[in-house]
Amino acid sequence: MPRQEAKEYRQVTEVDEVAADLEALGLGSEEIAALRQQGFVTGEVRVGRVIYKLRFRLQGRQRVRYLGTDADKADCVERLIQTLQRGRRIKKQLRDLNHDLTEKLGETKRRLEPFLDRAGLKFHGMAIRNPRGRNATIAQPTIMQKEI
């Protein structure tokens, strides 16, 4: 398949569609790339009316785009930005979860180790084992013969 045709067959992702919608609002590709990283919609009360603005940073400087007073339009832009930042948001959530996992597994060991020790058991990595030559005392002799 020629390269041009292959390009045409490329799957149009949701992010591409969002980028197209934002372009329709007058945002350039550089600005959309910046919005992928950071950016949000604010509502500010001016003379009894709420006006909406899109705020983001481009090349280290804050940029503000006036969105008008239409709450539905502001909501729509907010949703578009959330979709655009979806990948980045998920990556951050996964990073946070991986950090929490390391902490929780450590806490599990710290909390259970004294009890396991008294019961004649030990953590081997994250597995719970009955060291050779010792009898587990928490239950029937056979209870901890196998690795948990």
Partner 1 sequence: MEEEQQVTEATQAVENSPESSDSAVAREQRIADYVTQSLEVGDPFEANVGVVNADLMLLALRYRQVLGDALEQPPENLAELAEIMPSVDSYVRLVKQVDRISQLAMKLKAANASP
Quick check: 87 binds partner 1 (CB under 8 A)? yes
Quick check: 88 binds partner 1 (CB under 8 A)? no
Closer residue to partner 1 in complex, CB, 36/63: 36
Quick check: 139 binds partner 1 (CB under 8 A)? yes
- The residue among 73, 19, 88 whose CA lies nearest residue 41 is 73
Pick one of 94, 124, 131, 134: the residue that binds partner 1 (CB under 8 A).
94
- The residue among 141, 147, 135, 38 whose CA lies nearest residue 84 is 38
Quick check: 100 binds partner 1 (CB under 8 A)? yes
Q: Which single residue is written with the structure tokens 């056979």? A: 142
Q: For Cα atoms 22, 27, 28, give the angle at the middle one, nearest 5 degrees.
A: 115
DSSP annotation of 120 = T
Total residues at the site for partner 1 (CB under 8 A)? 31
Pick one of 1, 3, 13, 133: the residue that binds partner 1 (CB under 8 A).
13
